[in-house]
Amino acid sequence: MQTIANPSLSAPTQPTFRNFLAITPALVQRLFPATPLAHIAANLPPILAALATANLTDKSMLLVALATIRAEAECFQPLTEQRSRFNTSPSGPPFDLYDHRHDLGNQGPPDGADFRGRGFIQLTGRANYAQFARETAHDLIANPALACEPTIAAELLARFLVHREAGIRRALAANDLAAARRLVNGGINGLDRFTSAFHIGATLLN
């Protein structure tokens, strides 16, 4: 996930999707065919509540939120990034490849491990944790694991999407789901899952 700037959160409110409050776990599971219904039932309420608080209740942003979860945390539970060749050198300590990532605001060990990807959106890097600690009043620097608490993870998802909302809406208007994905992920990792969930949801919610 990219480090982001800190724009105003007062973007124009879009019309609420008329069936927003009727979104059910059973419906969402059709976007997540490999995910246990129990996971969706447990975590959907805080996600919908966070989206409502952030005024992301129109169909487009609802679908982007759900499609993002499909790409980042298909189990529909907040995740903690695991050690891999993308974050850890062959002979190094866990997450050493993140330790000096200045684009993430990391300052050296143990920042890579402490501020690894977490939550529904895989919040990554000291800079992002610090920004959202300020915005949410959750002490994510002292306790980074809070980003995996379901209610907080849902809030982080919603607020991150607010920061990218204008660009995401432009990408959707151009029918460019890859561009919408890049605005969240910084690349197109998980684009197939993102696209599948978005299209299935768009059909179901018509």
pLDDT single digits (tens) 16-33: 666 676 789 999 999 999
Task: Give yes or no for a contact between 115 and 144, defined as CB atoms under 8 angstroms apart.
Answer: yes
Task: Give yes or no for a contact between 147 and 156, defined as CB atoms under 8 angstroms apart.
Answer: yes
How do the domains of the chain map onto residue ranges? 15-78+149-206, 80-148
Longest dimension (CA), the chain: 54
Evaluate if pTM is beyond 0.85: yes
pLDDT single digits (tens) 157-178: 999 999 999 999 999 999 999 9
Q: How far apart are CA 100 and CA 126, in angstroms?
A: 11
One of 3.30.450, 3.40.50, 3.30.20, 1.20.1070 is the CATH number of 80-148, namely 3.30.20
Produce one character per residue of 55-79: b if its CB has 16 or more CB atoms within 10 Å, e if not: bbbbbbbbbbbbbbbbbbbbebbbb
Query: To 10 degrees, what angle do helices 150-173 and 59-72 make?
Result: 120
pLDDT single digits (tens) 54-79: 999 999 999 999 999 999 999 999 99
